[in-house]
Amino acid sequence: MKFGSSFCTLNVGGRRFPFSVELMKHLPLSRLSRLYRCVSESELLELCDDYDRDRNEFFFDRHSEAFSFIMLYLQHGKLRFVPHMCELSFYNEMLYWGLESADLQLCCQRRLDERLSDCFVHFFPEEEPQEPEEAPDHWLERMRRTFEEPTSSVAAQILASVSVLFVLISMVMLCASTLPEWKAAETLDEHRIIEAVCIGWFTAECIVRFIVSRDKCEFVRRPLNIIDLLAITPYYISVTATVLTGENSQLQRAGVTLRVLRIMRIFWVIKLARHFLGLQTLGLTLRRCYREMVMLLVFIFVAMAIFSALAQLLEGGNQDYTSIPAASWWVIISMTTVGYGDMYPVTVAGRVLGGICVVSGIVLLALPITFIYHSFVQCYHELKVRSVRCIRSSSTDFID
């Protein structure tokens, strides 16, 4: 927006904060950077409560002391809670201005996690408004919601049920095709027909969803759509190879690559994530907790390196512990308390080391679980709230 001068004033809860317009452009507060990009006064009023054009002053009915602490964070790079202010209220102010819990100091992050867990409350950051687009055709929007949002209407629920049915049928046929009894010629032909029907459904569904999608590039980049492509493509590659080389050719008989492509159809089961909230929660949790997962793997790797070296040293006369890589297998099954029994220590020192290894594995595996658990609960409630909002929005559109 073309501001009246090079300086402006933010009036937050009656307290004025002077800013240069250029500074607003580069601030890591998404609300203020969006304020800078506004092109009309109506857009300004969507981000602030009032605007005085004469004084170039923006009014926000928010907590002034919380905003002053946020300004200190921008100056010094450290963000802590306001004394004598509820952690949840301050976190709500952070989300309003465009900050996240990761911006807090570690001690304050722990306080916030404990408070969220005790109160069982979850805040969701405001989504960035998209650029104004031309209104899509009504039937295209209805089609998109039918295919993309299984809870948006009765037709969408029926379509999702049919899609799940095809996924289950294809998975059963894929597993049954590996049985010796299913390799007869008659059974093989029936299997191919059912497989072709399932692939035809998946292909048609993917094409329709691509046609009615708003952003084609965004559609291609989505993980679930990439999985759909990985699940469908091997079938067409196998059919093409059969047509070009012949069904009984040497390439087909020794075609390890084609067998790998056939097994890649196991990705069909991941298509269920499009229709089940639990699988979506699992995927979102893994994406948000990748740091904790990496930390867990590092813990296991370090412990495995230490215990495998000690086991190889103490059990040098045991043929199962001839090398550190061989001892690593014993360490990993001991730390995870699996204990297949295929290899075990025979010396007293080796057994003591085995006990320490088991106890250490329990402790190391339990350390990151708390973070992952809290993230899983938060992701589940976030997706559940979004699902409820989608159902209410669809009901409103249906009534209108």
Give CA–CA dist 153/394, Å, rounded.
7
Pick from 102-116, 161-175, 363-377: least confident: 102-116
Residue 331 sits at the vertex; the CA angle it makes with 329 and 332, to the nearest 5 degrees, is 70
Q: Higher confidence at residue 36 or residue 94?
A: 94
Q: Is 124 left (phi over 0), alpha (psi -120 to 50) or beta?
A: beta
Which CA distances in Å does 299 have to 256, 290, 335, 366? 36, 14, 11, 11
Q: pLDDT tens digit string along 333-378? A: 999 888 888 888 888 998 999 999 999 999 988 888 888 888 888 7
Tell me, what's the pLDDT at 392? 55
Q: Is 129 left (phi over 0), alpha (psi -120 to 50) or beta?
A: beta
Strands 15-20, 57-60: pairing is unpaired
H helices of 149-222, where?
Answer: 154-176, 185-212, 216-221
Q: Region 278-304: what's the mean pLDDT?
A: 86
Burial class (CB in 10 A: 0-12, 13-18, 19+), 11: buried
Q: Higher confidence at residue 89 or residue 149?
A: 89
Tell me, what's the pLDDT at 127? 47
Tell me, what's the pLDDT at 398? 46
The closest of 383, 203, 369, 206 to 295, measured between CA atoms, is 369
Task: Determine what percent of the chain is predicted with pLDDT higher than 70.
Answer: 82
Q: Region 100-129: what's the mean pLDDT?
A: 67
Tell me, what's the pLDDT at 393? 53
Give CA–CA dist 262/232, Å, rounded.
10
Q: Region 320-332: what's the mean pLDDT?
A: 88
**Do residues 21 and 57 make contact, with C-beta atoms less than 8 angstroms apart?**
no
Residue 193 sits at the vertex; the CA angle it makes with 191 and 195, to the nearest 5 degrees, is 65
Among 3.30.60.50, 3.30.710.10, 3.10.20.30, 3.20.20.70, name the CATH number for the domain at 7-122. Answer: 3.30.710.10
pLDDT at 4 over 70: no
Give CA–CA dist 109/91, Å, rounded.
10
Percent helix / strand / coil, the chain, rounded to 5 = 70, 5, 25
Q: pLDDT tens digit string along 207-249? A: 888 888 878 888 888 877 887 887 788 788 777 877 776 655 5
Domain ranges of the chain: 7-122, 149-275, 279-389
Q: pLDDT tens digit string along 132-163? A: 444 445 777 778 778 777 777 788 888 888 88
Give CA–CA dist 241/235, Å, rounded.
10
Domain 279-389, CATH:
1.10.287.70
Q: 117 falls in which pLDDT band (50, 70, 90)?
A: low
Query: Which one of 69-78, 279-288, 331-340 scores highest in mean pLDDT?
Result: 331-340
The closest of 43, 51, 40 to 10, measured between CA atoms, is 51
140 contact partners, CB below 8 Å, separation of at least 6: 212
Count of beta carbons in the 10 Å neighbourhood of residue 112: 19
Tell me, what's the pLDDT at 356? 93
Spelled out in words, what is the top-level CATH class assigned to the domain 149-275? mainly alpha
Tell me, what's the pLDDT at 306? 93
Element (H, E) at 11: strand 7-12
Give CA–CA dist 263/69, Å, rounded.
56
Token pair, residue 238, equals 């196998």
pLDDT at 100 over 60: yes
Tell me, what's the pLDDT at 310? 92
pLDDT at 67 over 80: yes
